[in-house]
Structure 1
Amino acid sequence: MTRLGGRTFASLRHRDYRLYFAGSAVSFIGTWMQQIAAFWLVLDLTHSPVAVGALALVQTLPVTVFSLVGGSLADRIDVRRMLIASDCVLTVLAATLAALALTDRIQVWHFYALGLVYGIVVALGSPSRHTLVFRIVGRDDLPNAVALSSGLGTTARIVGPALGGLVVAAAGPGIAFATNALSYLVSVAALLAMRLPRRPRAAGAGRVLTGIAETFRFAFGERRVTVTFFAVLLVSTFSFNFDVLLPLLARRTLDEGAAVFGLIASVFGMGALCGALILATVGRARLLLVLGGAAGFGGFQLVLAPQDTLPVVCALLFVIGIFYILWGSSALAVLQLAAPEHLRGRAASLYFFAFMGGAPLGGLIAGSLTSLGGTRLAFASAGVVALTVAAAGALALVRASPRRVEAHPS
């Protein structure tokens, strides 16, 4: 058991990763507290679900536009300094929201303007975050570190909204925004305490734009990288729209309220956390896990589609959460390990672009399918797409030359 636990948490033996993990734990929870408070306050000010959806759109659209630029920057500048700068900007944004809310001067347009800046900063900084993890733990511990980081993000997604709801109810949204500002300062302190050697890279606008083209050459230059990229892009766009579907599942299919929505979201999160611990214990990045995870993710959504009883829905969402992590986190590790040293940041940005770039389109599709045929049609369509992607990816690998398959065993 001790040996198993040591393998599960192997990357925590790195001092700088422990700092990164602790700082991220605090800032991730703070971020989710702010998200809950922001959506709640926008709804309170406008009484319009469309206004809430518009805020989510404003925050995610910059990912499509700027994430590849962020990857190119991550390969040319010191990633720790990049993250310190981005966290400082996010601190200012959160503090501004707090000041406006606490003085009763906040308006809806403030959320949209600051949300757009937030989305740009996250899009530019996230590739540096993933690249920093690689620099800290190295190739051998990267799959474990990616899995633990995914588990951390999943836990924050469960804990953060719960704490945010309590803070908003007890003290108001302004305190939630202020708490998030303090959480970013904790992350900055953890980054400053690291002992990594600084590795500045020459930067220039022309080279950054050229780097984006090199990102796509990497994506389509090797079959297993191409398969991984499309497995993330297509499944995340068409099959991972749970932010839209879970509240609809609770309200329309199960005919329940916010409490059940919170329950099924937490059950999915607990499954994802379990999947992260499984992946951390395996400690290997394999394309088989990407495709197998996508197949399980889609297959169990097909089983979920016709269900309308809470115990069965919860059991299935727990299993779906496990396969979600096996698919998504394995893909990130596969892309980063396949990239040469000078493309590490762009490999991370390629994943981030694939995972988040199609979110606005996917949300619209999920909502439209639900309006046509309920969550049954939406989950069934998502399941079919994920299974098709997994099958097509496996077929593409089978057709690969024996030499390439042998060189990159999955």
Structure 2
Amino acid sequence: MTAAILRAGARTFLSVRKHRNYRLFFTGQVISNIGTWMQRVAQAWLILSLTHSAVAVGILALCQFLPFTLFSLAAGVVVDRLDAWKTVISTQITQMLLASTIAVIALAGVAQPWEVYVIAALMGLVQVLDAPSRQTLTFRMVGPLELNNAISLNSGVFNGARIFGPAIGGVLIAAAGAGVCFAVNAASYIAVILGLLLMRPSEFHAVERRERPRTLLSGLKEGLSYARNDEQIMLVLVLVAVMSTFCLNFNVLLPVLAKQTLHSGPEVFGILSAVFGVGALIGALVSANIARATMGTTVIGTAGFALSELLIAPLRSAAVIGVLLFLGGICFTTWSSNANSLIQLAAPDYLRGRLIGIYFFAFAGTGTAGGILMGWLTALGGTELGFVVAGIAGLSISAVVWLRSRAVPLVEDQPA
């Protein structure tokens, strides 16, 4: 039994054990992601404290995520023109400086809403470039054989921080104010920057280089054309776009579910959010043990995720809803990490940044429209209508993609 557990643990953290560069990156991300989640909570709390307006908090979310809608596609072209390692170093330093700026303003007691919005928007702009660069760097660090393992571990770090970061942030806000959270986040970037600087570029996985596109537009057209003509990439992108638009708007549905449907307070909202995060963390660790990313695993994840939302719709029991959110969290990281791996494995080296940029547009860029849609549906028919629409949309696209994937040859059997 003990030997089996040790073998499972070895498989789970294969990329960490095998690749020194990824080990440095992983360690830095564990620390930095906790700081990132602390800052997200602190920003929302600071805006709410300054304005006493839920609409103002919504504007903050728009500032954070609208850059992905506007610039993800172009960012992918830029990433293909740059060195991923140097780009990630630059984006991490920039985010540290932005976190330091808002920390100084908040600690001085002179913060204004517009300043918080500007910092959030600038952070979003930097992250638009940082996200595809980190994915490209992950491929360079581990290569195709351990890619699915590394992507799953990255997701596990992010979702683990989703559990602990807000909790630590809440304690610090209560004890010393939001400014301290910003300062801690700024300091947390030191860990990831140090890890990046200690990497050995000679150990990066070799990739094919081609002549850079002459213009941003021509590079974007080349990436979109490749995605449109590759059956696997197109299926994954459509699946991710529909899931992200209809099924990932927990920031809209969960607060309303807790307050208006369950007639509970913020503590229930916090618990439900944490339960989903725990499920997502476990799902990431399970996915890290899957040797190959496959369309079948991806669709099982999306269908399970959508089914959990559909089953939540009529419920009025926080305990049962919590169980379904936990299961939904497991399914979420199962499909999201596998979808990411499938895109990267199908992408030629010279187009990887552009195709990841398109993936992030489908994954995060559609969230703005999806949030508005879910807000309207919730206002129209409560959370029950929102969850029903999300569940039906997710199950429908899962069925369509599954049937289509059975009819065409895919390259999912490549090792991930």
Alpha carbons of 1:259 and 1:309: their partners in 2 closer, same or farther (altered >3 Å)?
Answer: same
Aligned-partner Cα distance in 2 for 1:344–1:284? 19
Q: 2:87 matched to which residue of 1?
A: 82
Q: 1:75 to 1:190 in 2, by over 3 A?
A: same
The structural deviation recorded for 1:283 is 2.6
Paired residues in the alignment total 406
Question: 1:204: Cα distance to partner?
Answer: 7.3
Contact 2:213 2:219 in 1 (8 A): no
In structure 2, the residue matched to 1:4 is: 8
1:328 to 332, 336, 341: 336
The answer on whether the counterparts of 1:232 and 1:354 sit within 8 Å (CA) in structure 2 is: yes
Query: Which residue in 2 is equivalent to 1:218?
Result: 226
Task: Report whether the alignment pairs 1:116 with 2:121.
Answer: yes
Deviates more, 1:231-240 or 1:195-204: 195-204
Q: Partner of 2:197 in structure 1?
A: 192
Cα separation, 1, equivalents of 2:263 and 2:161? 27
Whether 2:358 is the aligned partner of 1:350: answer yes
**Residues in 2 aligned to 1:369 and 1:358: alpha-carbon distance in whole angstroms:** 17
2:33 and 2:193 mapped to 1: Cα distance?
Answer: 13
Q: Displacement, 1:73?
A: 2.1
Contact 2:293 2:412 survives alignment (8 Å): no
Query: Contact 1:294/1:327 (CA < 8 Å) preserved in 2?
Result: yes
Question: Separation in 2 of the partners of 1:194 and 1:66?
Answer: 29
* Structure 1 residue 18 corresponds to structure 2 residue 23: yes
1:208-249 Cα distance to aligned partner (Å, 9 max, x none): 332211221121111111110011011111111011111111
Partner of 1:394: 402
Distance in structure 2 (CA, Å) of the matches to 1:76 and 1:112? 30
Q: How many Å separate the matches in 1 of 2:392 and 2:315?
A: 16
1:29 to 31, 34, 39: 34
On the 8 A contact 1:77/1:203 being kept in 2, the answer is no
Gaps of 5+ in 2: none
Structure-2 change in CA distance of 1:204 and 1:11 (3 Å): closer
- Counterpart selection for 2:349 from 319, 326, 341: 341
Helix, strand or coil for the counterpart of 1:237? helix
CA offsets 1:37-89 (integer angstroms, 9 cap, x no match): 11101011111100110011011111112222222222221111111111111
**Percent of aligned pairs with the same residue?**
44
* CA displacement at 1:202 relative to structure 2: 9.3
Quote the residue 1:275 is aligned against: 283
Q: How far apart in 2 are the matches of 1:265 and 1:100?
A: 29
CA contact (8 A) 2:275 2:326 kept: yes
CA contact (8 A) 1:70 1:126 kept: no
Q: Give the corresponding residue for 2:153.
A: 148
Structure 2 distance, partners of 1:78, 1:386, is: 37
1:176 maps onto 2:186 in alignment: no
**CA-based RMSD:** 1.8
- What's 1:68 paired with? 73
SS at match of 2:201: coil
Q: Calculate the TM-score normalised by the size of structure 1.
A: 0.95
Q: Does 1:107 align with 2:115?
A: no
C-alpha distance in structure 2 between counterparts of 1:25 and 1:353, whole Å: 25
User: Residue 58 of structure 1 contacts residue 116 of structure 1 at CA under 8 Å; is this kept in 2?
Assistant: yes
Shift of 1:326: 1.2
CA contact (8 A) 1:299 1:383 kept: yes
